[in-house]
Homo-oligomer: A and B are copies of this chain.
Amino acid sequence: MTALKIGELAARLDVPAETIRYYEREGLLPQAQRTAGNYRLYDSALIERLTFIRNCRALDMTLNEIRALLVLRDGPDEECGGVNQLLDQHIKHVAERIAELQRLEHQLQLLRSRCSRSATMGHCAILNGLSAGDASIPAMTPSRPGL
């Protein structure tokens, strides 16, 4: 049961130390125990919790989603139902964002192709296209922070 200082934990899990403190401030991690010199100490339970958080972040979940998962995780009975629901929702978000970006990519390529077609013209067809008020450029739904 070797407890780690924040820098050691940071190095082991490849998380900046400031980010670990930030998670504590945000309540994702509990207040860490302290040494006599007021240094934070992390035992294996905390290390696992941070690993969990970082895995979730690597899956692009928001801190709020992670918070919800942690509550389920901390609960006496680990409810698969809630976990599944949250995960399904997140998968849906990601799929939607992909579809949106693919539409976007298509529009960008259309726009890009204008210029090669009009190389002989006196002024840039791309800039003209972007100045137009028509519906050639679809309104994007604002993206969630983080996606």
Which residues of A pack against B, CB within 8 Å? 13-14, 48, 51-52, 55-60, 69, 72-73, 78-80, 83-84, 87-88, 90-91, 94-95, 97-98, 101-102, 104-105, 107-109, 111-112, 115, 119, 123-124, 126-127, 129-133, 137-140, 143, 146-147
Contact = CB atoms under 8 A, between A and B. Distances in A.
A58 B138 CA distance: 7
B60 A127 contact: no
Contacts of A57: 140
B94 A105 contact: yes
A104 B90 CA distance: 11
Contacts of A109: 91
- Name the prevailing secondary structure of the A interface residues: helix
A90 B133 CA distance: 21
